[in-house]
Structure 1
C-alpha cells in the first residue's frame, strides 16, 4: 500500500498525544505546593508539637493531601472555591472536548489509511487531521488558561478528610503553588496532537509525477501515492 509518510506520522502521533493528554487529565498533579504545620497530635502517630511537612496537589477533578515521608495520603474530588472557579471549569470542558475530538480524528484517520486497499482516502484523512489538530489547540488553550492563573485558583479542602483528624488542615498556611508533572504531560501531549493533525493534513496534497524526459508532448498527471 502506498501510504504517504505524512499519514504514517500523523497516525502515530495522534494516539500518542491522546494518551498523554488523557494521562494529564486524570492525574491530580496539575499544581502542587507544600506547607509546614506544627502541633501534630498523637492521633497522627507522633508527639504533640511535631512539625509536619504537608504536600498539596490539585488536578482537574481530584485534589490530594499527603504527609511527607509518610504513607498517609488522602484524595477527594475537587470542591469549594477551586471547583467553582470558572477557569477550572473552562479547563475541564476544553480538555474533555479535546479528548473527544482527538478520538474522532483518530477513527477517521484509521479508516482513511485503509490497510486493506492500495489507495488511502486522502479527504477523510485530512478531515481526521483537522479534528486532531483542533483537539491539540483546545488542549493548549486549557493548559494556557490554567497555567496563567495557577496561583489565583481557589484552594478548598474537603470536609471529609478523616485521616487528617489530628491536624487542623483547615488552617493551613498559604501555599506556594507551582506547576506539577501532569501539567507538563499535558503540554507535550497537546503539541504532539497538533503535529499529528498537521501531518495528516499534509497527506491531503496529491503528488504529481514529472513529465517523461523523452517525450516533448508528455504532461504531468496526478497519481494516488
Structure 2
C-alpha cells in the first residue's frame, strides 16, 4: 500500500504556501509606509481641486492640514489621503527606483520566486503520490532549490529592512526629496515576505530528508532499502522459513 513520508508531505505543503506569500509580498506596494502632514496653501490648488469631490477642499486663502499615507513596494508606490477614497498609485521612480539596494532586492526576490517554482515542480515529480515508491533524489533536489529560494528572499528582505528609512533618500539632504517629514516604517507586505521565506526554508528542509531512505525493519543489519524485502538477499529473512515476507513501501 502506498505511503508518502511525513517529511515529503510537510515539504509539499509548506513550499507552495511560502511561494504564494512571497509572491503576494512582491506584487503589493506595502513594504514600507509612512504618514506626512501637508499644509495646504496657495500651492495646494491642484490637490484641493481633486479633493472637492470628497468634501475635503480647503477654502481659498486659508490653510488646512491633510494627512497623507505613503506606501512603497518593489515595483509600485501609492499615496492616499487619510479618511478619503482618493488614492493614486504609480510605478516606482526617481531616487527610489535608481537605488542600488532596491534593485538588489528586486533581483533576489525574482530569483527566489523562480527557484522556488522549479523546486516545487521537482518535488511534485519526486513525491509521486500515485506510485508506491517516491523518487527520493528528485524530491530532495527540489527541496534544495526551495531552501536556496527561501534564503535568497530572506537576504533580500534583510537588505530592505536594514535600509528601510534610507531607500530613495537624497544623500546630500538626508531626507526624502518629496516628503521631508515622512516617517517610514515596515508595512504588511514585508511581514508576508518574512513568513513566506521561513515557510520556504522549512518546506525545503523537510524535502531534503528525502535523500535518506528508511531502514528496512525486517533486516536491521542491512543498509537502507527502498522496500522491505521481497529482497531475497536479506540473511535475516532467508534463514528463517517460518517468517512471512510482505512487500510494503518504506
TM-score (norm. length: structure 2): 0.79
How big is the shift at 1:211? 5.5
Match of 1:176 in 2: 183
Match of 1:7 in 2: 8
1:148 paired residue among 156, 162, 175: 162
Match of 2:243 in 1: none
How big is the shift at 1:155? 5.2
How big is the shift at 1:115? 2.1
Match of 1:103 in 2: 117
How big is the shift at 1:173? 3.2
Distance 2:157 2:223 in 1: 45
Higher relative contact order (CA 8 A, sep 6+): 1
**Please, which runs of 5 or more residues in structure 2 have no aligned partner?**
171-176, 227-249
Q: Could you list the per-position Cα deviations for residues 182-206 of structure 1 after superposition, in whole angstroms to 9, with x for gaps in the alignment?
A: 0000000000000000000012211
Contact 1:37 1:172 in 2 (8 A): no
| CA-based RMSD | 1.6
Q: Could you list the per-position Cα deviations for residues 99-122 of structure 1 after superposition, in whole angstroms to 9, with x for gaps in the alignment?
A: 000000000000001122100000
Instruction: Flag as ranges the 4+ runs of structure 1 deviating above 2 A.
Output: 170-174, 209-212, 218-224
SS in structure 2 of the partner of residue 21 of structure 1: helix
TM-score (norm. length: structure 1): 0.87
Which of these two proteins has the greater Rg computed from alpha carbons? 2
2:58 paired residue among 47, 51, 57: 47
2:82 paired residue among 56, 68, 88: 68
1:207 paired residue among 210, 214, 232: 214
Match of 1:16 in 2: 17
